[in-house]
Amino acid sequence: MCFQRINCDSVLSIVWCADIVPFANSSYQQSISVSEGEAVIIDLPLIDSYPAPSVSWRNVRTGVRIMNNIQHYHLTLGNQLVILSTRANRDNGTMFRAEARNLYTFDSHDSPTFLVSING
């Protein structure tokens, strides 16, 4: 954790910033299996950081950043990725990863990879 004192035009500001190490073992892959048509909710481990980091999700294969409420994706305030109504031809074998970024220090860390498998 770092402590910085910034003097801006005689106004003393104090900024606390924590190193983000929320994903201690980000090299492993977590598999999530659902039946076609079901929703998937992908949870991240608790990120103990102040200020709270900015979290974004990506499709690992395409590298495309997932936007909220686009097509069948939804991002919650708790940094969950929700895939609505899964389809085998679209979602089977898709991998997702989150990135947590400290907006003050610009440090970032990737989550483990989440592999979605559609049963049947």
Stretch (H or E) spanning 99: strand 94-101
Question: Per the domain annotation, does 93 fall within a domain?
Answer: yes
Residue 3 binned pLDDT confidence (cut-offs 50, 70, 90): very low
Is residue 110 within 8 A of residue 26, CB to CB? The reply is yes
Is residue 83 within 8 A of residue 118, CB to CB? The reply is no
For residue 37, count other CB atoms closer than 10 A to its CB: 12
Question: Per the domain annotation, does 11 fall within a domain?
Answer: no
User: How confident is the model at residue 116, as a pLDDT?
Assistant: 95
Question: Per the domain annotation, does 30 fall within a domain?
Answer: yes
Q: Which domain holds residue 27?
A: 22-119
Is residue 113 within 8 A of residue 96, CB to CB? The reply is yes
Instruction: Please count the structural domains in the chain.
Output: 1
CATH number at residue 91: 2.60.40.10
Question: Per the domain annotation, does 8 fall within a domain?
Answer: no
Cα–Cα nearest to 104, from 4, 17, 19? 17
Question: Per the domain annotation, does 73 fall within a domain?
Answer: yes
Tell whether pTM > 0.85.
no
Phi, psi of 89 (to 5 degrees): -70, -15
pLDDT tens-digit series, residues 83-113: 988 999 989 999 999 998 888 778 888 888 9
